[in-house]
Amino acid sequence: MRFAVLDINNLSSITVDVSGKKAWVQAGATLGELYTKICEASKPLAFPAGVCPTLGAGGHISGGGYGNLMRKYGISVDHVVDAQLVDVNGKILNRASMGEDLFWAIRGGGGASFGVILSWTINQK
Indicate the pTM of the whole model. Answer: 0.89
Q: In whole angstroms, how far apart are CA 15 and each of 33, 48, 109?
A: 11, 17, 26
> Quick check: helix, strand or coil at residue 18?
coil
Domains and CATH numbers, the chain: 18-123 (3.30.465.10)
Per-residue pLDDT tens digits for 20-61: 999 999 999 999 999 999 999 999 999 999 999 999 999 899
Give the separation between CA 85 and CA 82, rounded to whole angstroms. 10
Backbone dihedral angles phi then psi of residue 50, each to the nearest 5 degrees: -70, 175
Closest CA to 57 of 77, 82, 31: 31
Instruction: Name the band, by pLDDT with cuts 50, 70 and 90, for residue 5.
Output: confident
Per-residue pLDDT tens digits for 76-88: 999 999 999 999 9
Compute how many other C-beta atoms are within 10 angstroms of the C-beta atom of residue 36: 14
Percent of the chain at pLDDT > 70 equals 98
